[in-house]
Amino acid sequence: MNFSKLIPWNIYLKKGVVLLMNILVVGSGGREHALSWKLSQSPKVNKVFTAPGNGGTQNNISIESDDIDGLADFARNNDCFTVVGPEAPLAAGIVDKFNKMNLKIFGPTKKAAQLESSKIWAKNFMKRNEIPTARFEVFDDPKKAKEFVSSINYNVVVKADGLAAGKGVIVCNSTDEAIAAIDTILVKKTFGDAGNQIIIEERIDGIEASFIALSDGNIAIPMASSQDHKRIFDGDTGPNTGGMGAYSPTPVINNTLAKTIQEKIIDKTINAMKSEGFPFQGFLYAGIMIRDGQPYVLEYNVRMGDPECQPIIMRMDFDLYEYLKAGVEGTLSSMPAPNWKEQSAVCVVLASDGYPDSYPKSEEISGLDLTLENTIVFHAGTKIHDGKIISNGGRVLGVTALGNSLQSAISNAYSATEGIQWPHKYFRTDIGKKGLSYL
């Protein structure tokens, strides 16, 4: 008798007792490479698939991250526990679909993902739940919006309501700039339907940091703090990008402030989402502005940050899969507090020159075979062509290094970037520097 026919091929036994899981990571960026790298180290994980993945991820499946039906079929046929990287499939309801099919998936439902997919929904949620955020007004009529900005005596930020690939936010220095921003979003419709409504909110001048927590819908466990570098040029100048580098932990968030953020923002959000009927399971990311020692939520994301994920993951001294599993099962409260490496981690993003506008693609990248202790090169916009790694996006690689101090992690990351070359390589030279001034 052939016993293998009785046992599904995708159930694996370790030491005869432990059931090993397959994992499906959805997405193709540096964040997804970091997630699949970490999850593949779990003794409870058999194989990690990435869909569609990039030139650095293993076991790539050619299903795009918006093909929810295709992903569901793959996860069912391969008995996968699924982890979703980017926001778009979450906003489109991938978790609702998987839940209906009884497939295990870590991430928020479509309703819970409104925290990111509708800025207006998120602002009203914060207002009714007294979660600290900038005061704001909502408009769909450009005339009324312009009258409003002409009537106030503080600087504003104009935001498109919907998802606009991180570009729908215009920080204004004057009334004229605010009027131009209103035209861009509401009249010229530069961001399409995402700009049918706008938020005009008070500009808060302070220090920005990222605070990410992992929630099972009932409680949230904080991840290590981090700080992103969103602008394209050194000194935080030039246009906004997806993020040009990040480091963890950030001295900008000390223990006292971390406790305040956890209580006044994260716990309040998780409790309110539950009591309003949209329990939030997944990574909850609060983009924070700190002014006069007090945190304000600039935005929520319903996923890990990219590139924040890369240095945070490098510092995890625990089995991430165990926590994601507890997140799905609603048992986070029975998990021990996760251990973090004392070391700092820095991720320097190597981009294609021209990003965030247009940039060349398909350039061969050399020097990727380097092996440095404590350094991992996470791929983002890369792919394999004729056996070679070529550039395939704006943010191409995230060189991520540990160090015994922030300064040494910075030095380790930058020295690792030196050997990696392609014709239009571009990077910021000051990742982590702003953290040094707070030490």
Does 96 bind ligand GLY (CB under 6 A)? Our answer is no
Q: Where are the alpha helices (DSSP H) in 4-103?
A: 30-39, 68-77, 87-91, 94-100
What single DSSP character describes residue 5? G
User: Shortest approach of ligand AMP to residue 202 CB, angstroms?
Assistant: 6
Gap between the Cα atoms of 410 and 343, Å rounded:
12
Residue 208 within binding range of ligand GLY, rule CB under 6 A: no
- Strand pairing partners for 426? 351
Instruction: Copy the structure tokens of residue 300.
Output: 């929520």
| Residue type at position 304 | M
**CB-neighbour burial class of residue 48 (10 A; exposed 0-12, middle 13-18, buried 19+):** buried
Separation CA 267–CA 261 (nearest Å): 9
Scanning the structure block, which residue is given the tokens 């409003």?
148
| Choice between 97 and 159, CB closer to ligand GLY | 159
Query: CB under 6 A: which stretch of 124-132, 199-207, 218-226, 251-259 binds ligand AMP?
Result: 199-207
In angstroms, the CA 358 to CA 224 distance is 34
Considering only 54-62, 200-208, 209-217, 419-427, which stretch makes contact with ligand AMP by CB under 6 A? 200-208
Q: Which does 308 bind (CB under 5 to 8 A by kind): ligand GLY, ligand AMP, none?
A: ligand GLY
Residues in the interface with ligand GLY (CB under 6 A) total 6
Give whichever of 230 and 433 is closer to ligand AMP, judged by the CB atom.
Answer: 230
Task: Decide: helix, strand or coil at residue 178.
Answer: helix
Which of ligand AMP, ligand GLY, none binds 305 (CB below 5-8 Å, type-dependent)?
ligand GLY
Q: Does 201 bind ligand AMP (CB under 6 A)?
A: yes
Residue 349 as a binder of ligand AMP (CB under 6 A): the answer is no
Q: Using CB distances below 5 to 8 A depending on partner kind, what does residue 306 bind out of ligand AMP, ligand GLY, none? A: ligand GLY
435 is an interface residue for ligand GLY by CB under 6 A: no
Q: Give rounded-to-5 percent helix, strand, coil for the chain.
A: 30, 30, 40
Shortest distance in whole angstroms from residue 383 CB to ligand AMP: 28
Answer yes or no: are the C-beta atoms of 359 and 262 closer than 8 Å: no
Choose which of 68, 228, 410, 435 interacts with ligand GLY (CB under 6 A).
Answer: 228
Binding residue (CB under 6 A) for ligand GLY from 305, 381, 398, 435: 305
Give the count of beta carbons closer than 10 Å to the beta carbon of residue 328: 21
Q: Is 116 in the site for ligand GLY (CB under 6 A)?
A: no
301 binds ligand GLY (CB under 6 A): yes
Stretch near ligand AMP under the rule CB under 6 A, chosen from 61-69, 166-174, 253-261, 357-365: 166-174
Residue 308 is a binding residue for ligand GLY (CB under 6 A):
yes
Q: How far is CA 204 from the centre of its chain?
A: 22
Separation of alpha carbons 324 and 340, rounded Å: 16
Please pick, from the candidates 29, 56, 287, 295, the single residue that binds ligand AMP as defined by CB under 6 A.
287
Instruction: Kindly determine how many residues on this chain lie close enough to bind ligand AMP according to the rule CB under 6 A.
Output: 15
CA-based diameter of the chain, in Å? 83
β 281-291/207-216 pair status? antiparallel
Tell whether residue 243 is a contact of ligand GLY (CB under 6 A).
yes
CB atoms within 10 A of CB 124: 14
- Per partner kind, with CB cut-offs from 5 to 8 A, the member of ligand GLY, ligand AMP, none near residue 301 is ligand GLY
Contact partner, 243, from ligand AMP, ligand GLY, none, Cβ < 5-8 Å per class: ligand GLY
Which listed residue (32, 299, 306, 308) binds ligand AMP by CB under 6 A?
299
Contacts 24+ apart (CB under 8 A), 3-11: 8/79, 10/46, 10/78, 10/79, 11/79
* Between 305 and 327, CB nearer to ligand AMP: 305
The single residue among 75, 94, 157, 312 that binds ligand AMP, judged by CB under 6 A, is: 157
Residue 306 near ligand GLY by CB under 6 A:
yes
**235 vs 84: CA distance, rounded Å:** 32
Tokens of 169: 């936010």
Nearer to ligand AMP among residue 205 and residue 373 (C-beta): 205
3-state secondary structure of 91: helix
Binding residues for ligand AMP, rule: CB under 6 A, are 134, 157, 159, 166, 169, 171, 201, 203-204, 208, 230, 287, 289, 298-299
